[in-house]
Structure 1
């Protein structure tokens, strides 16, 4: 992808101390696995990473995921209640929100894309290019949309799952890579 610089950080998911709120979820065998019962929202934030302008990608492995179940990447997270959220659901839709003190503001309304898997088992590479107030979102290397928002200039990265009211969800994440970016690719 044009405009990418040196690798700033990689995580092969071998150290559970780097990730928050794992509870019964786990970091093992090179993956961070999140599982949630029906109606439950589960997040995990990296505990030592601070990024502002960057490109990050992570692979999501869908084990148990269907219908309105959601999963994705948390970007520039300041706390467990303040972050940008790039969401995929198991109906093949994507969207983005700003979550500020748990209050949701849509940045991109949901739309269907052929790049988002329809349930599991499957996998997808989720990526974001963020410079200043602009964030570009990608799935499997394909551009999806751009969100523009000035509220959170930096923060950590994280992942999440949300089980719909009628089914549990299990998603594993692997191969986190964070790179420097050129703001004018």
Structure 2
């Protein structure tokens, strides 16, 4: 009995010793096994947010530079000029006058007046002046009565070897040049609106015609209008003309004529 109790005590001591050893072994790291380290959890790096530009720069619309075509100098009256003749209309022998039922061409103080009474009637007065191939003339023309499509103008180089040239002006403010030939009338230009022209009536305008070596330049109130080409060395009489388009009278007054010889 005593022996059995002793054996039980030894067994208990053995088991207790074994448990203690096992506990100690559990606390000792195994050889070659790395020690466990506390790896920090990955931190979330915030993605940078785009900065809002409340006032974005807008691109400036820059048109490609546009090079204007080289402007040609507008013709001007030749600066060096010799007066060929001038007329204040005090000499009543220099222009044709008429007293017809449909129209009248009469002298007024310092002017020649043309009144057309009938429909589509044309009145023309030729002067004693002969225009040479090169000239520059200015003629002041005033309208007292003028209706739509009534026209008046200047005749130059009448009955030249290239016919008779006429500068026409209508009451709306348009210009046209035609040429009278034995076979008929040939328009040289279409009707074109004149710059710096005073239309209708009453109105006063100064017309200029320049001819140099066959080139004709036309002016109104000192403003260049257009050019055309003709034969050089033409010559012919100077005249004036008026034509009514309707039943209403047309009254035009011509004055202050001066003609120069241009020296290019």
TM-score using structure 2 length: 0.64
Q: How many Å apart are 1:17 and its aligned residue?
A: 1.6
Greater RCO (CA < 8 Å, at least 6 residues apart): 1
1:101-136 Cα distance to aligned partner (Å, 9 max, x none)? 372112111011233332110100011001232111
Distance in 2 between the 1:157 and 1:135 partners? 15
The counterpart of 2:143, out of the listed 62, 65, 71, is: 62
The counterpart of 1:12, out of the listed 64, 83, 88, is: 88
The counterpart of 1:124, out of the listed 184, 190, 205, is: 205
Q: Please, which runs of 5 or more residues in structure 2 have no aligned partner? A: 1-76
Distance in 1 between the 2:167 and 2:189 partners? 9
SS of 2:248 mapped into structure 1: coil
Change in Cα spacing, 1:102 to 1:60, as seen in structure 2 (3 Å) is farther
Give the structure with the higher percent strand. 1
| Structure 2 residue 231 is the aligned partner of structure 1 residue 150 | yes
Change in Cα spacing, 1:83 to 1:151, as seen in structure 2 (3 Å) is farther
> What is the root-mean-square deviation in Å for CA atoms of aligned residues?
1.9
Larger Rg: 2
| Structural mapping, 1:33-112, within 5 Å | 33-37=113-117, 38-78=119-159, 82-101=163-182, 103-112=184-193
Give the structure with the higher percent helix. 2
| Structure 2 residue 106 is the aligned partner of structure 1 residue 29 | no
Q: How many Å apart are 1:22 and its aligned residue?
A: 3.1
Distance in 2 between the 1:71 and 1:176 partners? 16
Q: Check whether the contact 2:146–2:249 (CA below 8 A) recurs between aligned residues.
A: yes
TM-score using structure 1 length: 0.89
Q: How many Å apart are 1:151 and its aligned residue?
A: 8.2
Change in Cα spacing, 1:92 to 1:172, as seen in structure 2 (3 Å) is same
1:116-164 Cα distance to aligned partner (Å, 9 max, x none)? 3321101000110012321111000111011212288111211111101
Runs of 4 or more consecutive aligned structure 1 residues displaced over 6 Å after TM superposition: none
Q: How many Å apart are 1:78 and its aligned residue?
A: 2.4
Distance in 2 between the 1:113 and 1:181 partners? 24
Distance in 2 between the 1:152 and 1:7 partners? 19
Aligned residue pairs: how many?
A: 181
Q: Check whether the contact 1:84–1:97 (CA below 8 A) recurs between aligned residues.
A: yes
